[in-house]
Structure 1
Amino acid sequence: MSLAFLIRRLFHAFLVVFVVSLIAFQLGNVIGDPVSAILGLEATDESRAALREELGLNDSYVQRYIRYVDRALEGDFGLSYKHQRPAGDIIAERFPATAELAVLALVLSLLLGIPLGVVAAIWRDKWWASLLMTGSIIGVSLPTFVIGILLIFLFSVHLGWLPSFGRGETVDLGFWTTGLLTKSGLLALIMPAVSLAISQVALVARLVRAEMLEVLRMDYIRFARARGIRDRVVHFRHALRNTLLPVITVSGIQIGYLVAFAVVVEQVFQWPGLGTMFLSALTESDIPIITTFLVLIALLFAVINLIVDLLYAVSDPRVRLAKG
């Protein structure tokens, strides 16, 4: 892997984070008045003016942005207007819940989507393969909140098997709080993860099917069959390995997507993660929380896409050669 390839990818990642930080900082100027959010509407003009001076809101836009970036590089994203605590600490407390939800949803989407896509490609002329693809269209089309509500009605209200809200009992591991080590935590995680994963299962299945059909038409697959190699070996050792390269890219994007767009699922199940925190911050004009969340998501997307690009270049030398 060439140094120029790595530098280009690092520059792209930096550019994404820089642009999003500008947008996030600008949102802080238009979402609401932080002075009103802190002091309330009945505060005197003198107290408002004093707070604006203390927060540096009377400075120019450039001065405030430079100060914001300088503090952010030191890990200081400001105090939450509502909680009067560092925004970074609040994000750190909520991140484990969203991370566990997103990772489990990704694992489910890959474990189910890849086999379904392979089966639908190999036996594409069967009626049940067409049924699988029809089901995948439904899975992509259904909003996640509808899936969540249906799951709550079936497994919580009707059957009473799973809790309808909350995270269950958690275990504090120091810097990480997890529900994976308790029974109630695992049960509480099932429905939110399934709701978040269903559309991704459909996406992965359709992608694998399309790539698998393309690979099966390649000359080396025909040569392998002409040599008398068994279909199982051709399908799973030769075809599937080359099919999984695009899945690497999609999986990387999925992680960022699942973290960023878990907002709806977390709201339906009252999951105490970043999504519910972000919606609460929007309604309360808690600008430090909003800007920190947006920058964090941008950084997450940038890092994941950087890793995916590097893995793709390692897996397929044609990528870095073409860029060179």
Structure 2
Amino acid sequence: MLGHIAVRLVQALVVMLVMSVLVFVGVYAIGNPIDVLIGPDVSQELRLQTIAHYGLDRPLWEQYLTFLGRVLHGDFGRSFVFGMPVMDLILSRLPATLELTLAAVCGAALIGIPAGIYAGYRPDGFASRLIMTVSILGFSVPTFWIGLVLIMAFAVELQWLPAGGRGETVSVFGVEWSFLTLNGLTHLFLPALNLAFFKLALMTRLARAGTREAMLSDTVKFARAAGLSEWTVLRRHVLRLIAIPLVTVFGLEFGSTLAFAVVTETIFSWPGIGKLIIDSIQSLDRPVMVAYLMLVAFVFITINFLVDLAYVGLDPRLRKGGAR
């Protein structure tokens, strides 16, 4: 087990190093942020001083080595636009995105998995057909269109919920959270629902397919022959058989939602890192872009590592294999 963890950690470090090279070269080789930072009517002397100040006059490989040395000390540089450390800027926006992601993915899992299991257990029932119809809509309808419909229906026509913003927040250990206030919850509901719709459809269909397959397995047949109740069969055997793919999808969807909630945050004016990266791309704020992409890579690597550990906890065969 410890050997497996050590190998995975080494692999993660190699992947992060390769990603740092690809991200840095990809971002710093495109465009010229000086054209955005200063006006076209400034003197050539001031232009050259600005280029030298940001180190853009040095070769790309030298800029990368300087960047890598700072990163090893936890310094991603300063934002060209905001004039503050990049990590402070990202960490100030991260709680908003993390809160939205947790609400969307956990809500989708809590609703989608039981609905999918029921649809797989009673595939010919009316409720099961209705569940699968809703899941098809979740895959088919674009996220931005759903968001606009939600705003039009609940914010404009019914005026039940606000159309955007984060609302009131409460500081816990120096971090602002909106779900701890009623006003914050009303602001959180629509963007979380919009973000969860696709995840809900995915979880539902995956749970249904796994349940349909598990119900035909010998494990379930023997459990029924032993006289176990249907609820016990579903809870102890079916759910355990479909747990590994569900954990995998939950982890990957959490990472992708955290990293790419750009559309939802833009539509609902949610002050998260998705909206920050859009503004940074428009202004060619290279340090923010690089730090964001590195954060995305780190999130996915960490989630994959945690999913691997969850496999060991869910599947006894993997524990035995690790011991051997």
TM-score (norm 1): 0.94
Alignment of 1:94 onto 2:96: no
C-alpha displacement of 1:52: 2.1
Tell me, in whole angstroms, the C-alpha distance in 2 between the residues paired with 1:175 and 1:248: 31
AA in 2 matched with 1:30: A
* SS of residue matched to 1:189: helix
Give the whole-Å Cα distance in 2 for the aligned partners of 1:41 and 1:319: 62
Q: Which runs of 5+ in 1 are unaligned?
A: none
1:202 and 2:182 correspond: no
Post-superposition CA distance 1:126-146 (Å, at most 9, x none): 233123212211111211111
**Is 2:292 aligned against 1:293?**
yes
The one-letter amino acid of 1:202's match is A
Report the CA distance between 1:204 and its aligned residue. 0.5
- Please give the alpha-carbon distance, in whole angstroms, between the structure 2 residues aligned to 1:110 and 1:152: 24
- 8 A Cα contact 2:33 2:283, kept in partner: no
Taking the aligned partners of 2:316 and 2:72, their CA distance within structure 1 comes to: 35
CA deviations 1:133-190 (Å, max 9, x no partner) are: 1221111121111111111011001110100010001123343111122221110000
Structure of higher RCO (CA pairs closer than 8 Å, 6+ residues apart): 1
Cross-structure match for 2:282: 283
Match of 2:23 in 1: 24
Q: Secondary structure at the match of 1:133?
A: helix
Distance in 2, matches of 1:167 and 1:271, equals 6
Shift of 1:223: 1.1
Q: 1:72 is matched with which residue?
A: 71
**Any stretches of 5+ residues in structure 2 without a counterpart?**
none
Deviation at 1:314?
A: 2.6
**Residue deviations 1:59-100 (CA, integer Å, cap 9, x gap):** 222221111011112121111111111111110110000000
Return the alpha-carbon distance in structure 1 between the equivalents of residues 43 and 319 of structure 2: 62
Contact in 2 for aligned 1:262/1:275 (Cα 8 Å) = yes
1:220-256 superposed Cα distances (whole Å, 9 cap, x missing partner): 2111111222222112222112222211111111111
8 Å Cα contact 1:168-1:184 kept in structure 2: yes
Distance 1:84 1:9 in 2: 37
CA gap 1:286/1:200 in 2 versus in 1, 3 angstroms:
same
What residue is the counterpart of 2:251 in the other structure?
A: 252
Alignment of 1:163-242 (within 5 A): 163-242=162-241
TM-score by length of 2: 0.94
Letter in 2 for 1:142: V
* Percent identity over paired residues: 39
The one-letter code matched in structure 1 to 2:304 is N
Distance 2:13 2:320 in 1: 23
Paired amino acid for 2:293: L
Partner of 1:57: 56
1:117–1:209 Cα contact (<8 Å) kept: yes
Aligned-residue CA RMSD in angstroms?
1.7
* Aligned pairs, number: 323
- 1:62 and 1:195 map into 2 onto residues whose CA distance is 42
Structure 1 residues 314 and 67: CA distance shift in structure 2, 3 A: same
SS at match of 1:177: strand
